[in-house]
Amino acid sequence: MFESLPLSIASQLLLDRDDHGNVQVSKIESERLLASLVETELFKWKKNKEYNGKLSIVCHFLGYEGRCGLPSNFDANYCYTLGTVVSSLIDNRCTGMLAIANRLHRPTEMWAVGGMPITHMMNMERRSGKSKPVSAKYVQSDH
């Protein structure tokens, strides 16, 4: 897959990572990747005489907002559920908690919701000679 990417995009995947080792997705010019893929496909069509138009692509970076589409029903239900859980946590004076929802493969009325202490997602790591709490890369849930 990596080798099939245009060189300019592939090199962006190799840029410096953030403090947690994650690829800095906002620095990858996904709009240029899409433009390149469209140009490549149209070139093939033109070569096969399936297309004879002209194309002039102008890219503009819109950040994360430009990459998202309308939310699905799942997205809306999930966010509404988490908002309701957060409201309940606040109302019950539960601080330092994350709203969670499990069993998301089931109908919404069968989802299991609750709060999880944020400390469950933290690991202690040595940074600059000092132990610091940082977000874990992956949390195994028993729920």
Q: Which pLDDT score is estimated for 79?
A: 93
For residues 63 and 85, state if they share a domain. Answer: no
Whether residues 53 and 81 fall in one domain: no
Q: Does residue 19 share a domain with residue 58?
A: yes
Residue 24: how many other CB atoms lie within 10 Å: 12
pLDDT digit string (tens) for the chain, length 143 residues? 888 888 888 887 887 887 877 777 777 777 888 888 888 899 999 999 998 888 888 887 766 666 667 888 999 999 999 999 999 999 999 988 999 999 999 999 999 999 999 888 888 888 888 988 887 665 555 54
Q: Do the domain assignments include residue 143?
A: no
Q: Which residues of 67-83 are buried (b: 16+ CB within 10 A; e: fewer)?
A: eeeeeeeeeebbeebee
Residue 92: what pLDDT? 94
Residue among 124, 122, 125, 75 at smallest CA distance from 101: 75
The answer to whether residues 105 and 51 belong to one domain is: no
Rg (CA), the chain: 22
What per-residue confidence (pLDDT) applies to 42?
Answer: 92
Q: What is the reported pLDDT for 103?
A: 96
Are residues 63 and 111 located together in one domain of the fold?
A: no
Let me know whether 49 and 100 are in one domain: no
Torsion, CA 120, CA 122, CA 123, CA 128, rounded to 10: -160
What is the per-residue DSSP string for 23-49?
--GGGS-HHHHHHHHHHHHHHHHHHTT
For residue 102, the cross-strand partners are 112
Specify which residues 100 forms β-bridges with.
114
Read out DSSP for 38-101?
Answer: HHHHHHHHHHTTS------------HHHHH--PPPHHHHHHHHHHHHHHHHHHHTT--SEEEEE
